[in-house]
Amino acid sequence: MALAPDAASWHRRFRMLIVIYVLALALGAREFLVARSSAVIDQGSAEWTQMAEVVAALNPAEADTEYLLAMEALQAGDADAYTEHMEIALGKGVKHNNALLAEYAQQLLRLQASFEDIDRALSRWRDNHALSFEILELPMGVGPRDQLDHTTLTREMDALDWIYKYEFRAPNEVIPFWVALVQFEPAEEISVRELIEALSILGIPPEDRRSFAMRCISFAECRVTAR
């Protein structure tokens, strides 16, 4: 005896296709409305979160999706989730996304990750985007207080062959602390440890800076040693 066709079974068999189709329509409608209004979606907004969820559902295996989810985690203050999503994205062999590689290196600096992890991230970015002119921003514990401090910092920074250009930005209304802005040479080996040691020189009394230098094993652990 032949079984009667199950009139309700078709939607179960094509449920995933229907979900993807609906999500695609939603994303397409959003893109159309944004294009019509020339609006910019702010990171951290409810619309940004919705967009991240839709893109993740449509392209769960894409490296750029992991990047989007990492930015969402960063906005939420979840450093562990941010690092996890970024490592997954980079594990997919992504090379084309300059913003992803640059942002990861910058965030590792802000999170004060290990020197080795930061060097690896900077080298990956440099190797794949040698002509990029992105600038690294590094908060300084202490900024130059006078011309002698500025001269000392300049001497230490000039001694680092891998740095192409740099600038010390004084505190302002937006960033209330000293910041070092750094560009690096594509052909030179990178060492963030050397950069941190150079910027830490102001922690040594002026009369001792010619004879002593800072040696750091992490952002939080530096000591004065003889040159």
Q: Specify the range with the lowest mean pLDDT, choosing from 85-89, 91-95, 110-114.
A: 91-95
Amino acid at residue number 161: D
Answer yes or no: are the C-beta atoms of 131 and 117 closer than 8 Å. no
Q: What is the mean pLDDT of residues 112-141?
A: 85
Q: What is the mean pLDDT of residues 128-153?
A: 88
Q: What is the secondary structure of 22-38 as a DSSP string?
A: HHHHHHHHHHHHHHHHT
The reported pLDDT for the residue numbered 113 is 87
Residue 174 clears pLDDT 50, i.e. is over it: yes
CA distances from 10 to 5, 25, 31, 33 (A): 10, 21, 31, 33
Angle, helices 98-110 vs 79-91, to 10°: value is 140
Answer yes or no: are the C-beta atoms of 201 and 142 closer than 8 Å. no
- Using DSSP's 3-state secondary structure scheme, residue 21 falls into helix
Structure tokens belonging to residue 41? 């979606």
Distance from C-alpha of 223 to C-alpha of 227, rounded to nearest angstrom: 12
The CATH number of whichever domain residue 196 belongs to comes to 3.30.70
Is there a domain that residue 184 lies in?
yes
Is there a domain that residue 33 lies in?
no
Answer yes or no: are the C-beta atoms of 184 and 126 closer than 8 Å. yes
Answer yes or no: are the C-beta atoms of 225 and 212 closer than 8 Å. yes
Distance from C-alpha of 56 to C-alpha of 52, rounded to nearest angstrom: 6
Is there a domain that residue 13 lies in?
no
Give how many domains the chain has, as a whole number. Answer: 1
Q: What is the mean pLDDT of residues 150-179?
A: 94
Give the range with max mean pLDDT: 21-35, 67-81, 134-148.
134-148
Q: What is the pLDDT of residues 94-123, one digit of tens each?
A: 666 777 788 888 888 988 889 998 998 888
The reported pLDDT for the residue numbered 102 is 84
Answer yes or no: are the C-beta atoms of 201 and 213 closer than 8 Å. yes
Instruction: Give the residue among 64, 68, 41 at the shortest CA–CA distance from 53.
Output: 68
Is there a domain that residue 160 lies in?
yes
Distance from C-alpha of 105 to C-alpha of 133, rounded to nearest angstrom: 14
The reported pLDDT for the residue numbered 215 is 96
Q: How confident is the model at residue 1 (pLDDT cuts 50, 70, 90)?
A: very low
Distance from C-alpha of 107 to C-alpha of 129, rounded to nearest angstrom: 18
The reported pLDDT for the residue numbered 200 is 95
Q: What is the pLDDT of residues 16-51, one digit of tens each?
A: 444 444 444 444 544 444 444 444 445 555 665 566
Is there a domain that residue 5 lies in?
no
Q: Which residues contact 69 (CB under 8 A, 6 or more apart)?
A: 52, 56, 81, 85
Q: What is the mean pLDDT of residues 11-17?
A: 48
Is there a domain that residue 118 lies in?
no
Is there a domain that residue 75 lies in?
no
Query: What's the mean pLDDT when you consider all of the chain?
Result: 78
Specify the higher pLDDT residue, 182 or 30: 182
Is there a domain that residue 140 lies in?
yes
The reported pLDDT for the residue numbered 33 is 40
Q: What is the mean pLDDT of residues 147-171?
A: 95
Distance from C-alpha of 184 to C-alpha of 165, rounded to nearest angstrom: 7
Q: Which domain holds residue 143?
A: 134-227
